[in-house]
């Protein structure tokens, strides 16, 4: 592809172009899920250009502040599937994604997407297939969840809220399918009660520091998992994910990634 320094294009993106609503709702085959087909309909919905010095490549320009797009990343939160491949509209966007691992955020045009998750290295019998509509300015984490034989996905929207510089922001997402309802203790203070599988909490303000986090059984008060050193910084947002199989010897784990709202750039001032 010709090198250009004055705009990004759809050719630079890992995520494919969107499908039409009719395309995404149609009957799928294994080939559709794992083999990308050029989507001329989607190209027709966006202003396209021809790259300089190469008239055979027509692409969509991405101009900060003008072109509308969002971001998505994927998380493998399924302890029953230690590695997964993820296909979006037939294009592989995550290869052998490890349990507890996130992809980077990927830029994506608004529209409809068909997402298929496979055991790594396979292209038959998807673990789960779902459709997702992404809107302009969305910041999304899609988590692969569940135990073997019962895999699904959950979409978690990251807030584009204004982040004040005098506080850090945290929220909780419970992705352990067989864990009991749990309470969150932040430096031994109860900050959230009865977090169930699939729940996404509100954001909490906290100080920039190293904090002790305990997740306790809501009924018995027993410690389910603890992280003694959760470090957060002012002006940044974090999501605390609880993952794992409570019946496995490794039990539950805590993941604390930085949210995209903290650092992703849409080329505008709507933060």
Q: What is the largest CA-CA distance in the chain?
A: 69
32 exposed, middle or buried (CB, 10 Å; 0-12, 13-18, 19+)? middle
Question: For residue 180, is pLDDT > 70?
Answer: yes
Q: pLDDT tens digits, residue range 115-132? A: 999 999 999 999 999 999
Residues 15 and 135 occupy one common structural domain:
yes
d(CA 158, CA 135): 13
**Which CATH number does the domain housing residue 224 bear?**
2.60.40
Residues 17 and 139 occupy one common structural domain:
yes
Residues 55 and 139 occupy one common structural domain:
yes
Q: Where are the alpha helices (DSSP H) in the chain?
A: 21-25, 30-34, 40-44
pLDDT band for position 269 (cuts 50, 70, 90) = very low
Q: Is residue 73 part of a domain?
A: yes
Domain that holds residue 218: 168-262
d(CA 143, CA 242): 12
Q: Is residue 162 part of a domain?
A: no
Q: pLDDT tens digits, residue range 240-262? A: 999 999 999 999 999 999 999 89
Q: Is residue 1 part of a domain?
A: no
CA-nearest of 259, 115, 246, 117 to 200 is: 259
CA-nearest of 168, 119, 178, 123 to 146 is: 178
CA distances from 55 to 41, 58, 59, 68 (A): 20, 7, 11, 25
Residues 93 and 53 occupy one common structural domain:
yes
Residues 123 and 29 occupy one common structural domain:
yes
Residues 129 and 242 occupy one common structural domain:
no
Q: Is residue 56 part of a domain?
A: yes
Question: For residue 208, is pLDDT > 50?
Answer: yes
Residues 16 and 101 occupy one common structural domain:
yes
The predicted model gives 61-80 an average pLDDT of 91
CA distances from 43 to 19, 24, 57, 105, 111 (A): 10, 16, 12, 22, 12
The predicted model gives 159-182 an average pLDDT of 91
Last residue of some domain: 157, 178, 196?
Answer: 157
182 vs 3, more confident: 182
- The whole-chain average pLDDT of the chain stands at 90
Residues 181 and 66 occupy one common structural domain:
no
Residues 198 and 113 occupy one common structural domain:
no
Residues 113 and 180 occupy one common structural domain:
no
How many domains does the chain fold into?
2
Q: Is residue 269 part of a domain?
A: no
Last residue of some domain: 107, 129, 157?
Answer: 157
Residues 117 and 43 occupy one common structural domain:
yes
Last residue of some domain: 89, 124, 157?
Answer: 157
Buried b (16+ CB within 10 A) or exposed e, 40-68: eebeeebeeeebeeeeeeebbbbeeeebe
pLDDT of residue 86: 98
Q: Is residue 71 part of a domain?
A: yes
The predicted model gives 81-87 an average pLDDT of 96
pLDDT of residue 270: 46
Q: Is residue 97 part of a domain?
A: yes
d(CA 92, CA 97): 11
- Global pTM value: 0.92
Q: Is residue 270 part of a domain?
A: no
Q: Which DSSP string do the residues of 113-146 spell out, in sequence order?
A: EEEEEEETT--SS-SEEEEEEE-TT-EEEEEEES
267 vs 3, more confident: 267
The predicted model gives 133-161 an average pLDDT of 94
Q: pLDDT tens digits, residue range 17-68? A: 999 888 887 778 888 899 987 777 676 777 776 666 655 566 788 887 788 9
Residues 188 and 153 occupy one common structural domain:
no
């Amino acid at each position: 592809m010709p090198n250009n320094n004055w705009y990004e294009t759809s050719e630079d993106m890992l995520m494919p172009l969107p499908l039409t609503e009719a395309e995404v709702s149609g009957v799928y085959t294994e080939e559709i899920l794992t083999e990308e087909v050029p989507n001329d309909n989607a190209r027709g919905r966006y202003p396209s250009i021809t790259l300089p010095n190469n008239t055979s490549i027509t692409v969509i320009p991405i101009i900060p502040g003008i072109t509308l797009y969002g971001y998505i990343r994927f998380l493998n939160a399924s302890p029953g599937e230690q590695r997964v491949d993820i296909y979006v509209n037939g294009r592989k966007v995550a290869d052998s994604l490890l349990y507890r691992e996130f992809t980077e955020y990927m830029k994506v045009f608004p529209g409809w997407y068909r997402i298929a998750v496979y055991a790594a290295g396979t292209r038959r019998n998807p673990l789960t297939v779902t459709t997702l509509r992404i809107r302009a300015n969305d910041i999304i984490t899609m988590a692969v969840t569940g135990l073997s034989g019962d895999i699904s996905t959950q979409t978690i929207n990251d807030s584009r809220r204004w982040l004040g510089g005098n506080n850090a922001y945290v929220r909780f997402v419970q992705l352990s399918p067989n864990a009991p309802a749990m309470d969150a203790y932040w430096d031994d203070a109860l900050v959230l009660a009865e977090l169930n599988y699939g729940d996404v909490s509100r954001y909490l303000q906290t100080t920039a520091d190293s904090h002790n986090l305990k997740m306790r059984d809501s009924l018995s008060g027993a410690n389910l998992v603890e992280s003694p050193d959760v470090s957060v910084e002012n002006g940044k947002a974090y999501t605390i994910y609880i993952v794992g199989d409570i019946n496995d010897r490794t039990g539950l784990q805590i993941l604390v990634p930085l949210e995209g709202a903290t650092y992703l750039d849409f080329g505008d001032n709507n933060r």
